[in-house]
Amino acid sequence: MTVFRGTFVDTPHSPFTGGRLREGADLALVVEDGVIVAREPWSAELHGDDVVDLREGLVLPGFVDTHVHYPQVRAIGGLGMPLLDWLEKCALPEEARLADATYAASVAADFVSGLARAGTTTALVFGSHFAGAVDALFTEATRVGLRVTSGLVLSDRILREDLFTTPDRAFDEGLELAKRWHGQGRTRYAVTPRFSLSCTEPMLESAGALLSQVPDLWFTSHLNENVEEIEGVRQLFGCDYATSYERAGLLGPRSVLAHNVHPTLQELMQLARHGAAVAHCPTSNAALGSGMFPLGSHLALGVRVALGSDVGAGTGFSLFKEGLQAYFVQQLLGREGHRLSAAHLLWLASAAGAEVLGLADTVGDFSVGKEFDALWLRPAPGCTLDVALRHADSTDEAVAKSFALAGPADVAATWVGGEPVHPA
């Protein structure tokens, strides 16, 4: 049994439906076998000396990243290009290097470490085009202890030929990876076509066949990120982007589509009807000039939304930064946007992602019965964030200042299931 003492802030109920920040100042969370078994005011008489003291700073739920590219951690910073140019010049050459197993293992170590240091404890990861590299990712995530859902990335046209596979090979390799990793510890498998633009109809059908054959697999891909890409999909498939996935049986409650910056009304209704969710990647959308995300339209039609860092086209692993950029975008949209409070940002970075990934009963907040996934935000003494937190007049203000100023350097430690994965 471990007792964690500190100021814990979470969002057990969605601020989009009336929920608020919940603060527990000088609270004791009693954790046994990774699960929170008691939540009560601190008392030395009750807990004695067997305590992890986290009173400096804030303790937040472990962040949940719903779209992040494993092979792109070393490609961050390729600015000044739209999506398709950036893929050709920055991302895809790096992704091709993961054919080398030794190189892939080193990238996996950088990637998993980057997540943990940013306070991300759970992630839906866009894997690699190479089965060996996907194995390397799952192996490293298991060693460190993160909750990772990922899979083999599928393409058979338009991209570099050394990234191509065939529908039959994609099915066979995906099936073997799913047998090896799906439901093993904290890992799960996701069927992962890169995007419709780079997949023929037989490839998407192969993905749908695997999704239907193995129970409870996940599906993830890209959707409506860039206007040139969207037009290309329309020319190839003769339909809108979401329909290209729907025809292959790929949309459902375990489907998470990244970006969706330019959806049609019909597509939003499709996603809502299938129970599919969207990973909002605001820094990537800004860096590539893809556009401003219509959050209000998604919410109005019942499409679930959480945050993704994207990483390669984004600006790093920090969901603090993604939350801040999401806030900027909605401010710039004015009346068409959805004004976001500190509570909204924390929800999008934690509990919303847990809900989107089917883990809301396990993680996402600090309620009794959930596993202790947490990050300790403790900035360096005297830095701007430290000054701001010491002078915050309320919990809402402290969380707002955290999203405005925090980054991975301010995350002093991260826990998954009560065990440190980025120790102080």
Banded pLDDT at 57 (limits 50, 70, 90): very high
Whether the per-residue pLDDT at 89 is higher than 90: the answer is no
Residue whose structure tokens are 């920090």: 318
- What mean pLDDT comes out for the span 290-298? 97
- The predicted model gives 321-345 an average pLDDT of 96
> Mapped to the 3 state alphabet, what secondary structure does 226-261 carry?
CHHHHHHHHHHHCCCHHHHHHCCCCCCCCEEEEECC
- pLDDT above 90 covers what percent of the chain? 91
Give me the torsion for CA of 302, 353, 337, 301, rounded to 10°. Answer: -10
Percent of the chain scoring above 70 in pLDDT: 99
Q: Of the given ranges (32-36, 88-92, 100-104, 288-292), which has the lowest mean pLDDT?
A: 88-92
Are 410 and 117 within 8 A, CB to CB?
A: no
Sequence-distant (6+) residues with CB within 8 A of 35 are 369, 370, 371, 372, 418
Pairing assessment for the beta strands 120-126 and 419-422 based on DSSP bridges: unpaired
CA torsion angle 240 67 255 168 (round to 10):
80
Domains of the chain: 2-61+365-422 (2.30.40.10), 63-317 (3.20.20.140)
d(CA 99, CA 79): 25
- Say what the pLDDT of residue 313 is: 79
Contact 74, 94 (CB under 8 A): yes
> What whole-number distance in Å separates Cα of residue 291 and Cα of residue 293?
7
Is residue 409 pLDDT above 80, yes or no?
yes
Residues 6 or more apart whose CB falls under 8 angstroms from that of 289 comprise: 82
- Measuring CA to CA, which residue among 364, 376, 219 is closest to residue 306? 364
Contacts of 169 (CB under 8 A, 6+ apart): none
**Host H or E run for residue 321:** helix 319-332
What is the sign, positive or negative, of the torsion defined by CA atoms of 56, 62, 64, 70? Answer: positive
Q: Has residue 322 got a pLDDT over 80?
A: yes
Beta-carbon neighbour count of residue 237 at 10 Å? 19
- Residue 355 pLDDT greater than 70, yes or no: yes
Mean pLDDT of 272-296: 96
- Within 8 A by CB and 6+ apart from 238, the residues are none
Q: Is the pLDDT of residue 339 over 70?
A: yes
Average pLDDT over residues 112-137: 98
> pLDDT band for position 83 (50/70/90)?
confident
Grade residue 424 by pLDDT with cuts at 50, 70 and 90. confident
Q: Which residues pair with 306 in a beta bridge?
A: 279
Residue at 332: amino acid letter = L
Name the token pair of 331. Answer: 């401010």
Maximum alpha-carbon separation in the chain: 70
Residue 312: pLDDT over 90: no
Distance CA(68)–CA(120), nearest Å, equals 11
Per-chain mean pLDDT for the chain: 96
User: Is the model's pLDDT at 314 over the cut of 80?
Assistant: no
**At residue 173, what are phi and psi to the nearest 5 degrees?**
-70, -40
Q: What is the pLDDT of residue 49?
A: 66
Read off the pLDDT of each residue in 58-68 and give the average, rounded to a whole number.
98
- Across the range 297-325, mean pLDDT stands at 95
**φ/ψ (deg, to 5) at 313:** -85, -10
CA 424 to chain centre: 23
Half-sphere exposure of 88 (CA within 13 A, CB side): 6
What's the pLDDT score for residue 84? 83
Reply yes or no on whether the pLDDT at 40 is more than 80. yes
Sign of CA dihedral 356, 67, 167, 251: positive
pLDDT of residue 76: 85
Phi/psi class of residue 13: alpha, beta or left (left: φ > 0; alpha: ψ in -120 to 50)?
A: beta
pLDDT beyond 70 at 48: no
d(CA 407, CA 118): 7
